[in-house]
Structure 1
């Protein structure tokens, strides 16, 4: 009797970091191996959640906020996150700020960073084709099927069952920041008010952590965020304003486009 052929691919969805995280592995490998890779990904993301959650009193973030832990005694990951958040604050003229709410909250960087680290782990393990999606923070590599790029939808900012863009992508990172799910949670650090001019900012590029921070910064900037992203960030974008206008970079890899009406 011959051995059974390996099943192609694996898909797993778990609730981590307060959102649904989906992992699709599209390599033609034995299922046991793919399950081990998925286990490693979700173990890492749960570790990040325990360390960086602003909702868990014993998290490292909250211990730092309370003064129970000094920055010099923090973990290597925490020191990396704090240092990078400071560099991004400078790069975005202060619009990306881990202290924008008056408390330490590096969430605008951490989710993208943690997913990028997980994607790098998969790539280092020889995984050639996958899509990792953590509530709209997405890393894709390779193809969904031979010769078929991954197709990623950008949801309509007012209608959850509709799309305003379908992207055709390989080997890229995609981050979206918007007001349509959590309301005005992104604060303009210069006014202290919730950002309102833009309702959706999607940023594409080589690094998800940076894309995530840029999407947050552009949303906080309001209409100025459109020209800022267009200047020299090196990241593609799709932006929907509160009045329903769509701004797209020339290099956005769109397979299909719709014009959202947010009125």
Structure 2
């Protein structure tokens, strides 16, 4: 199975190498992601997130899924000393930094429940993989036609936060200004929920976020600072024939 659809504002590609897994499993993946977009997008006035942000819903009225997402957001706000914050002054509630990885990880769980053992799910460059090894390239933060690293992923997830697609969109909640110090932050973890949240949270912290992310159990880090210096944990799974550019 190989499918590509545009969901939640970015392309999502799915490859499943198990011949016994039917198209129904792919249908379930993309139906779930479309549901997430409808329910959790802060850009849709009628979404659950927007209604809660406008105080039209109370905490006790929220779905279990949004309650879980908000708990994750609060966890990372506390863990980063406020650098990661989905409730910035002058802005509405925006949990997208957690929702993306969380929802795509749940989609991967749907595939596993359907019997998929070898697959890769790529959501705008953030990847969940199983049954590898799979080779995943990470775009160079300055040169769009180059990769800064190629990693090997068997069963797990990788996510990157950077400026190159959306500019200075990650805000340091401690200052209210665009995060500084890093050009890109890539995190490998067992789930995309963690990899994506940690990558964004660490980027918001700046250079100090590299050490914070590296200290988390099960997380491996590849970061490029604003001076072009590479900061990498020893266990980051660089592909044997690849090197940083």
Q: Same fold (TM over 0.5)?
A: yes
What are the within-5 Å matches in structure 2 for residues 83-122 of structure 1? 83-100=71-88, 102-122=91-111
Match of 2:178, SS state, is coil
Which range moved further: 200-209 or 87-96?
A: 87-96
What are the within-5 Å matches in structure 2 for residues 106-255 of structure 1? 106-143=95-132, 149-255=133-239
User: What whole-Å deviation, never above 9, does each CA across 1:165-217 have from its counterpart, x for those lacking one?
Assistant: 11111101111111111011111111111012101101001121111111111
Match of 2:215, SS state, is helix
CA RMSD of aligned residues (A): 1.3
Matched, 1:13 2:4: yes
Matched, 1:75 2:67: no
Unpaired segments ≥5 residues, structure 1: 1-9, 144-148
Match of 2:157, SS state, is strand
Higher RCO, 1 vs 2 (CA within 8 Å, ≥6 residues apart): 2
Unpaired segments ≥5 residues, structure 2: none
What is aligned with 1:258?
A: 244
Which structure has the greater CA radius of gyration? 1
Q: CA deviation at 1:26?
A: 1.1
Distance in structure 2 (CA, Å) of the matches to 1:213 and 1:19: 17
Q: CA deviation at 1:115?
A: 0.6
Contact 2:80 2:205 in 1 (8 A): no
Q: CA deviation at 1:58?
A: 0.8
Match of 1:204, SS state, is strand
Contact 2:4 2:13 in 1 (8 A): yes
- Among 15, 32, 37, the residue aligned to 1:49: 37
Contact 2:157 2:191 in 1 (8 A): yes
Which range moved further: 201-210 or 83-92?
A: 83-92
Q: CA deviation at 1:103?
A: 2.4
Q: CA deviation at 1:233?
A: 4.0
Q: CA deviation at 1:62?
A: 0.7
Q: CA deviation at 1:68?
A: 1.6
Distance in structure 2 (CA, Å) of the matches to 1:18 and 1:128: 28
Q: CA deviation at 1:229?
A: 1.9
Q: CA deviation at 1:258?
A: 2.3
Contact 2:129 2:154 in 1 (8 A): yes
Contact 2:172 2:204 in 1 (8 A): yes
Distance in structure 1 (CA, Å) of the matches to 2:221 and 2:22: 32
What is aligned with 1:24?
A: 15
Contact 1:51 1:59 in 2 (8 A): yes
- Relative to the length of structure 2, the TM-score reads 0.95
- Relative to the length of structure 1, the TM-score reads 0.88
Distance in structure 2 (CA, Å) of the matches to 1:163 and 1:28: 32
